[in-house]
């Protein structure tokens, strides 16, 4: 109870300070902060999952994520070196890429499917500084689950958030800035589209939630998946509005107000 209360207090404070939205999930332990950063939506999420084994237990996981449309399939992973990093690299025959900045190369493990691209990413001094300022970080990009309705390749920028970071508002703000700068740099490099399936306008959903909570929840699920296109969501909102108008639960747009209403 204490941990959940501390997280909620910190995340509500974060939402207020940056003008983001705070929302609960299906459980009291599931919380999300939804922040707008230029044309992207960045989410900070936490949930409690039950682990099964000899004795079941509950474990909290928290992470930051942002979907975007990939133009070239570029993927990378950056995390701090640990005492056994070199041993693990040898055991698993993994290749660590050098990005050309000795201090950065000494402190971090870098993996990517395109060395020139990851060097261009880290060449941004703001990104290097923000990554180096984090005492622990694991920043990566992976391809999201495919969706036949989308012609674009949807990727996910992802970063697990450690327990010591979770209630530190300033640290969370710095991670949000890192995400925004990384997404902007990916666009500048030609690896990400400036538009995408997550440039959601959440205002219609907020309005619809007041009129028809069940329809709004179904549409919100499509948004939450991060795989539906903007046009798909707009079509779902329009369809729900049409049904409400047909049921006389919502006036037609442009129609004069009812007398006495």
d(CA 131, CA 124): 11
If asked whether residues 233 and 165 sit together in one domain, one would say: no
Convert the pLDDT of each residue in 24-37 to its tens digit. Answer: 877 878 899 999 88
H or E segment to which residue 77 belongs: strand 76-80
Q: Select the highest-mean-pLDDT range: 54-68, 109-123, 183-197.
A: 109-123
3-state secondary structure of 213: helix
pTM: 0.71
Give CA–CA dist 118/107, Å, rounded: 16
- Measured over the CA atoms of residue 150, residue 47, residue 194 and residue 223, the dihedral's sign is positive
Residue-range definition of the domain harbouring residue 162? 2-188
Residues 180 and 217 in one domain: no
Distances (CA, A) of 123 to 37, 38, 129, 136: 22, 22, 10, 20
CA angle 140, 32, 128 (to 5 degrees): 30
Q: What is the pLDDT of residues 151-206, one digit of tens each?
A: 456 889 999 986 566 788 999 999 999 999 999 999 999 999 875 554 455 566 67
Same domain? For 174 and 240 the reply is: no
What is the C-alpha to C-alpha distance for residues 65 and 79, in angstroms, rounded to an integer?
16
* Average pLDDT, rounded, for the chain: 80
Residue 240 and residue 162 in one domain: no
Q: Quick one: tokens of 16?
A: 């207020």
What's the total number of domains in the chain? 2
Indicate if 134 and 223 belong to the same structural domain. no
In a 3-state reduction of DSSP, which class is residue 111? Answer: strand
């Amino acid at each position: 109870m204490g941990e959940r209360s501390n997280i909620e207090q910190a995340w509500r404070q974060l939402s207020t300070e940056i003008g983001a939205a705070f929302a609960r999930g299906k459980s009291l332990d599931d919380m999300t902060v939804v922040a707008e950063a230029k044309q992207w939506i960045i989410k900070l999420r936490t949930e409690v999952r039950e682990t099964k084994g000899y004795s079941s237990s509950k474990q909290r996981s928290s992470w930051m994520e942002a979907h975007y449309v990939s133009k070239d399939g570029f993927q990378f992973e950056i995390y701090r070196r640990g005492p056994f990093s070199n041993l693990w690299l040898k055991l698993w025959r993994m290749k660590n890429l050098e990005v050309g900045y000795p201090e950065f190369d000494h402190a971090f493990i870098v993996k990517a499917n395109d060395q020139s691209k990851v060097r261009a990413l880290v060449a941004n001094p703001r990104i290097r500084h923000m990554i180096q300022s984090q005492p622990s970080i694991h920043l990566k990009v992976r391809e999201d689950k495919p969706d036949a309705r989308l012609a674009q390749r949807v990727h996910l920028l992802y970063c697990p958030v450690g327990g010591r970071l979770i209630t530190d508002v300033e640290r969370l703000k710095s991670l949000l800035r890192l995400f925004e700068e990384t997404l902007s740099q990916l666009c500048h490099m030609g690896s990400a589209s400036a538009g995408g399936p997550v440039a959601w306008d959440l205002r219609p959903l907020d309005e619809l939630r007041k009129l028809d909570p069940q329809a709004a929840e179904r549409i919100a699920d499509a948004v939450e998946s991060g795989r539906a296109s903007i046009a798909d969501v707009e079509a779902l909102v329009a369809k729900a509005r049409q049904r409400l108008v047909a049921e006389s639960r919502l006036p037609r747009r442009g129609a004069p107000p009812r007398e006495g209403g």
